[in-house]
Amino acid sequence: MNGQRHSRFNGRRQSRVLETINLPIILEHVAEAATTFYGRGKLPEYIPELAEIEPNQFGMAITTVAGEQYTIGDVDVAFSIQSISKLLALILAMNLEGESLWSHVGREPSGTRFNSLVQLEYEQGIPRNPFINAGALVTLDRVLAHVRDYPSVVLDFARFLSMSDSVAIDSAIVECERQTGHTNYALAYLLRSFRRIEAPVTELLAAYFHQCALSMTCRDLSRAFVALANGGLSPILEEAVVTARHAKRINSLMLTSGMYDSVGNFAYRVGLPAKSGVGGGIVAIVPGHMCIAVWSPELDLSGNSVVGVRALETFSEITGLSIF
Ligand code: GLU
């Protein structure tokens, strides 16, 4: 695989640290090391459509705060972003609701599986954070209080942020989750019984399944979230996507809750705020420097991409880039 540099965007000046490291060469090393871990994880069988994916695929794309892009591997293969979409809903909810969002959902790591019902019952229907499924449903419910036709809104938002018209919603995955997402229905009904959501359960879940089924490439994702590395300002769009205050807070939430139930292990190994999805994608933020999107479909027991986590760990070891 060859690491490639693209400078289609005339963004800001590259940061000093990035001038001293050779990203194309580093990406080659990272890809070589990480792909030796093919075969160590499993495809997510609870979403049958995702269990059909060819497992030995790997892509990694970096968009820097100067708007430059560096890529290696399968960066133009679209995949199901799944829980990474919770970031899109959170940005929309923070922009629409501001601080009042936090009277509906918490900001603590859950220490339980992402779709656990038990904790939600103990805690009277207030989900621990916006990245577990219950928290994502409550966050989305707040967005639905402001917008109509959410699937189009979230699709347009993803296309806008990534400047890519090829972002799509995979209707086969929507349908698959509609038919098999029994735990998500259970979570939504529990939330409803605690009066924590306003939208009817079927409407809320339809919106949720559409956002999870967004199909994007690593290249798209690294562009879409680079604003979080740059105080909320997208170097590609040359406009603010969120305020600097919100960008900092979203990164903090990713650091404490973005990697399922192995967030501590990920912080130990990589030391970057990140959000993963069961489609095998991970978006990681290096504040002040770049957004990294990595994808490889096989998952570890917590639901994170085995090869993706390994790639980010190797990247942070070689470059010394982490928030610590
Ligand atoms: N659609 C998936 C679910 O709700 C998303 C899970 C994930 O990526 O964490 O179970």
CA dist., res. 96 & res. 15, Å (int): 32
**d(CA 278, ligand 1 centre) in Å:** 6
**Residue pair 137/144 in contact by the 8 Å Cβ criterion:** no
Using the mean position of ligand 1's atoms as its centre, give its distance from the Cα of residue 177 in Å: 9
Catalytic residue among 30, 70, 75, 83: 83
* Ligand 1 site, residue 216, Cβ cutoff 6 A: no
State the CB neighbour count (10 A cutoff) for residue 156.
12
User: How does DSSP assign 202-258, residue by residue?
Assistant: HHHHHHHHHHHTEEE-HHHHHHHTGGGGTTTEETTTTEESS-HHHHHHHHHHHHHHT
56-75: pLDDT as tens digits? 999 999 999 999 999 999 99
Containing domain of residue 63, as a range? 16-319
Ligand 1 center to 82 CA (angstroms): 5
Structure confidence at residue 10 (pLDDT): 42
Catalytic residue status for 278: yes
Are 274 and 258 spatial neighbours (Cβ–Cβ below 8 Å)?
Answer: yes
The answer to whether residue 200 is domain-embedded is yes
Q: How many domains does the chain have?
A: 1
Q: Name the residue of 154, 278, 304 whose CB sits within 8 Å of the most ligand 1 atoms, as the mutation to test its pocket.
A: 278
pLDDT at 6: 55
> What's the CATH code of the domain at 247?
3.40.710.10
Band of residue 11 on the pLDDT scale cut at 50, 70, 90: very low
Mean pLDDT of 285-307: 97
| Mean pLDDT calculated for residue range 302-313 | 97
pLDDT for 78-111, tens place per residue?
Answer: 999 999 999 999 999 999 999 999 999 999 999 8
Is 277 a domain residue? yes
Q: Is the CB of 115 under 6 A from ligand 1?
A: yes
What pLDDT, in 10s, does the model give residues 235-293?
Answer: 999 999 999 999 999 999 999 999 999 999 999 999 999 999 999 999 999 999 999 99
* Residue 225 pLDDT: 98
Q: Is residue 3 part of a domain?
A: no
Beta partners for 203?
Answer: none
Atom of ligand 1 nearest to the CA of 277: 8
Residue 324 lies in a domain: no
Ligand 1 closest atom vs CA 184: 4
Cβ of 80 less than 6 Å from ligand 1: no
Q: What is the C-alpha separation between 214 and 196, in angstroms, rounded?
A: 26
Q: What angle do CA 259, 69, 93 make, to 5 degrees?
A: 45
Q: Do 144 and 150 contact (CB within 8 A), yes or no? A: yes
Does position 7 have pLDDT exceeding 80, yes or no?
A: no
Which amino acid does the sequence have at 198? E
Rounded mean pLDDT, 284-305: 97
11 found inside a domain? no
Which of 114, 117, 205 is the best mutation target for the ligand 1 pocket, counting ligand atoms within 8 Å of the beta carbon and taking the most? 114
Q: Is ligand 1 within 6 A of the CB of residue 83? A: yes
* 5: in domain: no
pLDDT in tens, 119-157: 999 999 999 999 999 999 999 999 999 999 999 999 999
Distance of alpha carbon 91 from alpha carbon 108, whole angstroms: 18
**Residue 86 annotated in active site:** yes
Give the lowest-confidence range in 19-28, 74-83, 152-161, 223-232.
Answer: 19-28
pLDDT > 90? residue 18:
no
Distance 44 CA to ligand 1 centre (A): 10
Q: Which residues, other chains included, contact 184 with Cβ-Cβ below 8 Å and sequence gap of 6+?
A: 115, 133, 137, 177, 205, 208, 209
| 58, part of any domain | yes
Share of the chain above pLDDT 90, in %: 91
- Average pLDDT value for the chain: 94
Tell me how far the alpha carbon of residue 215 lies from the centroid of ligand 1, in angstroms.
14
pLDDT on residue 220: 98
> Is 4 part of any domain?
no
